[in-house]
Amino acid sequence: MDAPSMFVKRILVAEIHWSRFVTTPLIGIIGGVLASYVHWPLPWMVGSLVAVILVKCCGPWQIAPLPGGRKAGQWVVGVGIGLHFNAAVIEQILNYSIPIVAGALITTMVSVIAVWLMRSSGHDRATAFFSSMPGGAAEMVNLGQRNGALLSQVAAAQSLRVVIVVLTVPAAFKFFMGEGVAVASHSEVSYYWLLVLFPLGGVAGWLLQYMRQPNPWMFGSIFVSACASVWFDLHLSLPTGASQFGQLMIGSSLGCFFERSFFRDAPGFLARSFLSTCLMIIIAGAAAAGLGWLAWLDFRSLTLGMMPGGIAEMSLTAETLQLSVPLVTAMQTLRLVLVLFLAEPLFRYWQRKDKAKTQ
């Protein structure tokens, strides 16, 4: 083949390659518009997620996540979440630190039920353990890889759990409790501050990623935004459409984790993952109601804080339903930190204890 033909072929391959990426958010936009039309909670996240899953699993198109799309979505959403923090909110979180810690511990401990369910079905110890821990999917896959877990099943269970929570919890809250009581707010949009916060949040995200920290773009942007909001008492918000863009990027990227084989190869495993997630949701809701009664806190915010979902997804749900975003963010962050630091030591202790019994 001559050089011009090779050059043309490379251009065509590159165009096909990039069309797989660009098509994904376009499909997500269609899903977001339709979900908004039917007034679904978190429409741009849920709608884009469902639309991308349907196209990937039911259609002939081979689409892929937009490179950096999920990071960009977490970056935008993280800045928005951080702007909800102020001095009064930090004081409230410190005053209620005991129920916050208790909620994070309860959610982590409830995962023992999921581990037992997986083990009783014949799955190996590492796969059952790291599939059931309510931490980030990427982090649990990495820990599972170090301890001999079946990575495809760990990734499948972690992704499925987040999807189940995102699809069911916001809808249940909106159906049973409505939109929530509107909170008087003096927030405004300051593009001068946003021009400072977004670059700093990006630098913080890149540094945390370089240091191999979990969820770096979310934590980095939340940290920078929250610190600035508390220190300078900003009372700002994101411009219209920014949160929807973040939801779109996160939802469409998350949908790309699913393939036809995801549902075909291990239906029994996925069914048990679904059942264990439902049990975790029910127990977390009951525990949140009890903590809310004991501590005189809004049990709806406590429930979202204790859900085994992601920080971005549950914080956005709290924002949509006009609940306490900082409280939900604090509980979700604390639970993730607990899981990341305790999961592997607990698993290795479990292994040593079992070996000691068999000797």
pLDDT surpassing 80 at residue 9? no
Which pLDDT score is estimated for 285? Answer: 85
Distances (CA, A) of 294 to 99, 172, 287: 9, 24, 11
> pLDDT digit string (tens) for 180-210?
444 444 568 889 999 999 999 999 999 988 9
Give the helix, strand, coil percentages of the chain, each rounded to 5.
Answer: 80, 0, 20
pLDDT surpassing 80 at residue 20? no
Which pLDDT score is estimated for 177? Answer: 64
Name, in order, each residue with C-beta under 8 angstroms of 66's C-beta and a sequence gap of 6 or more: 21, 22, 24, 25, 249, 252, 253
| Domain range summary for the chain, segments of one domain joined by + | 67-358
What percent of the chain has a predicted confidence (pLDDT) above 90?
Answer: 10
Token pair for residue 182? 């509107």
Which pLDDT score is estimated for 358? Answer: 66
CB contact at 8 A, 132 and 118: yes
- As a whole number of Å, the end-to-end CA separation of the chain is 67
Mean pLDDT of the chain: 80
Token pair for residue 211? 């240091």
pLDDT surpassing 70 at residue 100? yes
pLDDT surpassing 60 at residue 240? yes
